Amino acid sequence: MLELVNVAKSYESPGTGGTVCVLKDITLKVEKGESLVIVGPSGSGKSTLLNIIGALDEPTSGRVLFDARDLTKQSDVELARIRNRQIGFVFQLHHLLPQCTVLENVLIPTLVDRSHSSKQEAQERAANLLERVGLQDHLLHRPGELSGGQRQRVAVVRALINRPKLLLADEPTGSLDEEASQNIAELLVELNRSEGVTLIVVTHSLQLAQRMGHVMELSGGVLKDRSDG
């Protein structure tokens, strides 16, 4: 479903005019329904890699194939469509709109996507998903009235509302306490199984990673298996 072939990414380092190579040579294959966790220390390029996978950023060289289509060759309009329909994102900070209710926040991605047969169908899916994450009594609350863990659950539901094939999560528990982190990790794994959505999580927490699926480590710009520790 997803394949990276010899992906490299470098940035111009400010001031010196030289370049910094963040990703050197990433080759990766992810099958439908898989759950992959990428660990690595801060600054190792995890966000850069996830943004390239999610078509938010372009590699300097190499190819990114999503459903056998090369993302580096698509137009901006097509990339926007793929991002909105096929890919769900969860970030460390939830990026919920403070003035909107929980239900409204979850429905935002549906406003530009016509895959829902009706507004009502989208609302029903939103309410169902919010119930599954235990927020059925918070539909009309605003983000400011929720705990950090609850806000992140709203962000997870919003990421899933358009039934994406791929769910990407960048340090989804990075601003949560231990208990809330575990709950989010369990929720992601549960949704990976029940919704059949392919999951890729990046985190600096190995402990959390090991609960979530196949673990790979990003270090020195390359990705290595570390499923057996």
Ligand X SMILES: Nc1ncnc2c1ncn2[C@@H]1O[C@H](COP(=O)(O)OP(=O)(O)O)[C@@H](O)[C@H]1O
Residue ranges binding ligand X (CB under 6 A) = 11, 22, 40, 42-48
Measure the CA–CA gap between 129 and 133, rounded to whole angstroms. 6
Contact 60, 8 (CB under 8 A): yes
Half-sphere exposure of 163 (CA within 13 A, CB side): 12
Least spacing, CB of residue 49 vs ligand X, in Å = 7
Least spacing, CB of residue 124 vs Mg ion, in Å = 35
Backbone angles phi, psi at 32, to 5 degrees: -55, 135
Closer CB to ligand X, 2 or 39, in the complex: 39
Residue ranges binding Mg ion (CB under 5 A)? 46-47
Backbone angles phi, psi at 123, to 5 degrees: -65, -40
Least spacing, CB of residue 40 vs ligand X, in Å = 6
Closer CB to Mg ion, 47 or 183, in the complex: 47
Burial zone of 1 (CB within 10 Å; 0-12 exposed, 13-18 middle, 19+ buried): middle
Report the 10 Å Cβ neighbour count for 189. 17
Closer CB to ligand X, 89 or 162, in the complex: 89
Give bridge partners of residue 225 from the DSSP assignment.
216
Closer CB to ligand X, 130 or 170, in the complex: 170
In order of 94, 148, 154, the CA distances from 101 in angstroms are: 14, 15, 10
44 interacts with, out of ligand X, Mg ion, none, CB within 5 to 8 A per kind: ligand X
11 interacts with, out of Mg ion, ligand X, none, CB within 5 to 8 A per kind: ligand X
131 interacts with, out of Mg ion, ligand X, none, CB within 5 to 8 A per kind: none
Closer CB to ligand X, 71 or 170, in the complex: 170
16 interacts with, out of ligand X, Mg ion, none, CB within 5 to 8 A per kind: none
203 interacts with, out of Mg ion, ligand X, none, CB within 5 to 8 A per kind: none
Closer CB to Mg ion, 47 or 192, in the complex: 47
Burial zone of 74 (CB within 10 Å; 0-12 exposed, 13-18 middle, 19+ buried): middle
Residues with Cβ within 8 Å of residue 132, at least 6 apart in sequence:
none
Least spacing, CB of residue 223 vs ligand X, in Å = 12
6 interacts with, out of ligand X, Mg ion, none, CB within 5 to 8 A per kind: none
